[in-house]
Amino acid sequence: MALGLPEELWRGNQMRPLRNVRKVANPMVRLNVPLDPAKTGRDAISLEGSLRRMIVGQDEAIQQIVNIYQMHLTGMSAPGRPIGNFLFLGPTGSGKTRIVEATAEALLKNPRAVIKIDCAEFQHSHEIAKLIGSPPGYLGHRETHPLLSQEVLNQYHTDTMKVSFILFDEIEKASDALWNLLLGILDKATLTLGDNRKVDFSRALIFMTSNLGAAEMSAIMAPKLGFHASAAQTRMATGEVDEETTAKMARSGVEAARRKFTPEFMNRLDKVVTFQPLGSKELKKILEIELNLVQQRIFNTAPERAFVFTVSDAGKEFLLSEGTDLKYGARHLKRAIERILVQPMSNLIATDQVRGGDWVRVEFDAEAKELRFAREAEGLPVTEMVRLVDTSVTMPELISSTGASADTVKIQTARSSKRS
Ligand SMILES: Nc1ncnc2c1ncn2[C@@H]1O[C@H](COP(=O)(O)OP(=O)(O)OP(=O)(O)O)[C@@H](O)[C@H]1O
Ligand SMILES: [Mg+2]
């Protein structure tokens, strides 16, 4: 076989009578057309677009995921290995878990299509049986359903997309037994279950997260003493993070990982990405995304009571000021939204002050330092409500300003109401 090519490719040529070959014009035509290897394909661009709409301020992580996905699409991934092995480091609430869910949402239309393994739950060797099942003959062998079987791995595959997402959270807490298992998966894309069945991970994207180095990173953000302290305080107040700090933090994350993890582990990773702390600019964009998600929640979970709300600029400023804490990233902002906006709205729904088809305006009361709610209109059809939704950030899935999407909202509404 020539160059290991599949037989059907070369056999035909070899068997063609020489006579015919002479008649064919020389197939090699010199063109010297410059090619651009920096360009990405359509599917990769579409993934990148979706991720950029959902994830703010983590461009490097997005780029790495998109690159690896395209390698997979073009068949250029290394054979016998997972599609990609990623280690995500960085502060809490910066999007490490969210970006994995967002990739699943973009590719499989389901943010929950991620198999999550919380490594802190597998700190003792015997707990590994939950992942791989126990060997035959052991007590309870038949009852155990390994968390990492082939069926579990493939459960979210669709007709067109046969990719699995596996997330190992807080890997620094993994026991030695889990660690060995992980090394095998990362290197050979196989795992042997307790009963000797093999699980194939060659269609899996493996993500590992760790807060390792987070303490050093927050020390860089806010040195308690000394010369840099006042600059850091301003940074904390404004939520701005400059480039130098960003680079310093990225270095300190990778160094912490190198100190903690063995070279054989680090060698098996395709990419190590340090997530950046989110500054006020990023939080502002995340606020828009989260408000849209709250709106979507209203459309999805209480369809017969679907209403629309809009928040004034001052209201948004207030949410941001209450929700900015560089230490806790977007989590703090989400908590502020829940406390200041969602809970009062839930009271309004429960007391029938807000009904289906209403338009609720949310403004900031500067004197009382709280949000004020007012019913601006009622009896709006779904299409009208969708039109009112801020589309500066495209909502994941369902809702946008187009007529087609409005129909989708109705369909979703009908389905959900059947369930309740
Ligand atoms: N960069 C981001 N872009 C958009 N939303 C974000 C971003 N970071 C965080 N969020 C929001 O905050 C929530 C919490 O973030 P996430 O769970 O990804 O944090 P994490 O980095 O995994 O933190 P931890 O290390 O504590 O697990 C997400 O569900 C998402 O709603
Ligand atoms: Mg996380």
Say if ligand 1 is within 6 A of residue 56 CB. Answer: yes
Say if ligand 1 is within 6 A of residue 92 CB. Answer: yes
Q: Burial, 273: exposed, middle or buried (Cβ in 10 Å; 0-12, 13-18, 19+)? A: buried
What spacing in Å lies between the alpha carbon of 3 and ligand 2's midpoint?
46
Tell me the mean pLDDT in the region 383-393: 72
pLDDT of residue 335: 96
What spacing in Å lies between the alpha carbon of 39 and ligand 2's midpoint?
31
Q: What is the C-alpha to C-alpha distance for residues 91 and 88, in angstroms, rounded to an integer?
A: 10
Tell me the mean pLDDT in the region 59-81: 93
Band (133; pLDDT cuts 50, 70, 90): confident
What are 414's two structure tokens?
A: 């009908």
Band (214; pLDDT cuts 50, 70, 90): confident
Residue nearest to atom 28 of ligand 1 (CA): 98
Residue nearest to atom 4 of ligand 1 (CA): 55
Residue nearest to atom 8 of ligand 1 (CA): 95
Q: What is the C-alpha to C-alpha distance for residues 99 and 110, in angstroms, rounded to an integer?
A: 13
What are 353's two structure tokens?
A: 């002050």
What spacing in Å lies between the alpha carbon of 97 and ligand 1's midpoint?
6
Residue to probe by mutation, ligand 1, list 65, 98, 395, most atoms within 8 Å of CB: 98
Q: Which ligand is nearest to the CA of 92?
A: 1
Say if ligand 1 is within 6 A of residue 94 CB. Answer: yes
In 10 A of CB 237, how many CB atoms? 11
Tokens 């059947």 sit at which residue? 418
Q: Counting atoms of ligand 1 from 1, which one is nearest the CA of 214?
A: 25
pLDDT of residue 300: 83
Q: Which ligand is nearest to the CA of 331?
A: 1
- Among the ranges 33-37, 73-77, 290-294, 396-400, which has the highest mean pLDDT value? 290-294
What is the torsion angle, in degrees rounded to the nearest 10, for the CA atoms of residue 76, residue 77, residue 80 and residue 85?
Answer: 180
Q: What residues have CB less than 8 Å from 271, skipping those under 6 apart?
A: 64, 68, 84, 85, 86, 87
Q: What is the C-alpha to C-alpha distance for residues 82 and 84, in angstroms, rounded to an integer?
A: 5
Q: List the one residue out of 212, 198, 186, 270 whose CA is nearest residue 91.
A: 212
CB 246 within 8 A of CB 216: no
**Residues, beta carbon < 5 Å, ion ligand 2:** 96-97
Residue nearest to atom 30 of ligand 1 (CA): 98
Q: What residues have CB less than 8 Å from 391, skipping those under 6 apart?
A: 400, 401
In 10 A of CB 317, how many CB atoms? 14
Q: Counting atoms of ligand 1 from 1, which one is nearest the CA of 211?
A: 25
What spacing in Å lies between the alpha carbon of 208 and ligand 2's midpoint?
10
Q: Which ligand is nearest to the CA of 253?
A: 1
Band (223; pLDDT cuts 50, 70, 90): low
Percent over 90 (pLDDT), the chain? 51
Say if ligand 1 is within 6 A of residue 335 CB. Answer: no
What spacing in Å lies between the alpha carbon of 342 and ligand 1's midpoint?
19
Say if ligand 1 is within 6 A of residue 53 CB. Answer: no
Q: Angle CA(132)–CA(133)–CA(137) in degrees, nearest 5? A: 140
Q: Which ligand is nearest to the CA of 116?
A: 2
pLDDT of residue 42: 84
CB 240 within 8 A of CB 276: no
What spacing in Å lies between the alpha carbon of 88 and ligand 2's midpoint?
9
Q: What residues have CB less than 8 Å from 419, skipping those under 6 apart?
A: none
CB 201 within 8 A of CB 189: yes
Give the CATH architecture of domain 280-419.
Orthogonal Bundle (1.10)
Q: What is the C-alpha to C-alpha distance for residues 202 and 192, in angstroms, rounded to an integer?
A: 14
Q: Which ligand is nearest to the CA of 91?
A: 1
Type of residue at 134: S
Say if ligand 1 is within 6 A of residue 72 CB. Answer: no
Return the domain boundaries, the chain.
42-274, 280-419
**E strand or H helix that includes residue 216:** helix 214-221
Band (13; pLDDT cuts 50, 70, 90): low
Residue nearest to atom 26 of ligand 1 (CA): 92
- Report whether pLDDT(49) > 60: yes
- CATH code for the domain defined by 42-274: 3.40.50.300
What spacing in Å lies between the alpha carbon of 347 and ligand 2's midpoint?
30
Q: Which ligand is nearest to the CA of 210?
A: 1
| pLDDT digits 0-9 by tens, 254-265 | 898 999 899 999
Say if ligand 1 is within 6 A of residue 95 CB. Answer: yes
Tell me the mean pLDDT in the region 320-347: 93
Q: Angle CA(252)–CA(253)–CA(256) in degrees, nearest 5? A: 85
The answer to whether domain 42-274 and domain 280-419 are alike in fold is: no
Residue to probe by mutation, ligand 1, list 331, 334, 342, most atoms within 8 Å of CB: 331
What are 333's two structure tokens?
A: 């902002």
What spacing in Å lies between the alpha carbon of 352 and ligand 1's midpoint?
33
